[in-house]
Amino acid sequence: MKKATRQAYGETLIKYKDKKELVVLDADLSAATKTDGFSKEAPEKFFNLGIAEADMIGTAAGLALGGKRPFASSFAIFEAGRAYEQIRNAVAYQKLNVTIAATHAGITVGEDGGSHQAIEDIALMRVIPGMTIINPSDDLETEAAIEAIMQQEGPVYLRLGRLAVARIHEQKKPFIIGQAEMLRQGNDGTIIATGLMVQESLAAAEQLAQQGIEVRVLNFSTIKPLDEELVLRAAQETPWLIVAEEHSVIGGLGSAVSEFLSENYPTKVIKIGIQDKFGQSGEPEVLKEFYGLTIKNITEKAIQAAK
């Protein structure tokens, strides 16, 4: 089964439409962010702010100050970029319970091209004090993450994708913010992945096992706060780590892992992501191949590291 995490986002909001404090905002992209279903089910709790992302975030801040728990929805490039100042000053500076639900993140936005492909959004959000960053791997984890966010204090950046992705979890389980999960055991090396790169990493681990290389696969759906304990264990128990993400290799999960280990347990970290380039127009699978976000590239990097 394949489903986009943005689709799971929209469906989950509808499930919680009767939750008193929940309100949903959008910047005239509800059909794409999948909040259009919520707008029909609970029109009195839905606010379309038009093509005005900064205004949307400011309005979300005001609603949060009034006791609501707003989910502000738009494309990642517009929210993390155009509304950055409002996220920083109106939301995070005041430690408000606002979720920035950023869809269409990464290069798998596809044909919309480099201007619409947010590959630096995690980096931008990571440097904001107190910001929680969640990047779910599949639809079930997205639903569980939203449930956890509703109990979370403070701002959250929820990163969602356009592309339908395979389900890696057999069933929904409680989502604990700040806690990563081990999906596969192995001591020859470690692959740390987030978002859609989790499915690629699991497939790569299967191929590596056929060549006698047993790697562990860790799903870091929470990027900030980083699960430092699991990172440290992986560094201590395996000789190298690969970090795979649909984001620039600068400032994302790979940087977070490297920064932590450089001060606590220096070891080899290989970063798979966008190598300091902009995206470009193309079919998502073609772009993944071009930028090396593939099973093949992960496998090759792991084999080289294992030599």
DSSP state string for the chain: -EE-HHHHHHHHHHHTTT-TTEEEEESS-HHHHT-HHHHHH-GGGEEE--S-HHHHHHHHHHHHHTT-EEEEEEEHIIIIIITHHHIIIIIITTT---EEEEESBSGGGGGG-GGG-BSSHHHHHHTSTT-EEE--SSHHHHHHHHHHHTT--S-EEEE--SS-EE---SS-----TT--EEEE--SSEEEEE-TTHHHHHHHHHHHHHHTT--EEEEE--EEES--HHHHHHHHHHSSEEEEEEEEESSSSHHHHHHHHHHHH---EEEEEEE-S----SS-HHHHHHHTT-SHHHHHHHHHHHH-
Taking 90 as the threshold, does the pLDDT of residue 28 lie above it?
Answer: yes
Instruction: List pLDDT tens digits, range 111-125.
Output: 999 999 999 999 999
Query: Which positions are catalytic?
Result: 53
> What residue ranges do the domains of the chain occupy?
2-166, 181-306
pTM of the predicted structure, to 2 decimals: 0.97
Instruction: List pLDDT tens digits, range 65-106.
Output: 999 999 999 999 999 999 999 999 999 999 999 999 999 999
Taking 90 as the threshold, does the pLDDT of residue 195 lie above it?
Answer: yes
Per-residue pLDDT at 304: 96
Domains 2-166 and 181-306 share a fold: yes
Per-residue pLDDT at 212: 96
> Homologous superfamily of 2-166 in CATH?
Thiamin diphosphate (ThDP)-binding fold, Pyr/PP domains (3.40.50.970)
CATH 3.40.50.920, applies to 181-306: yes
What confidence tier does 307 reach under pLDDT thresholds 50, 70, 90?
confident
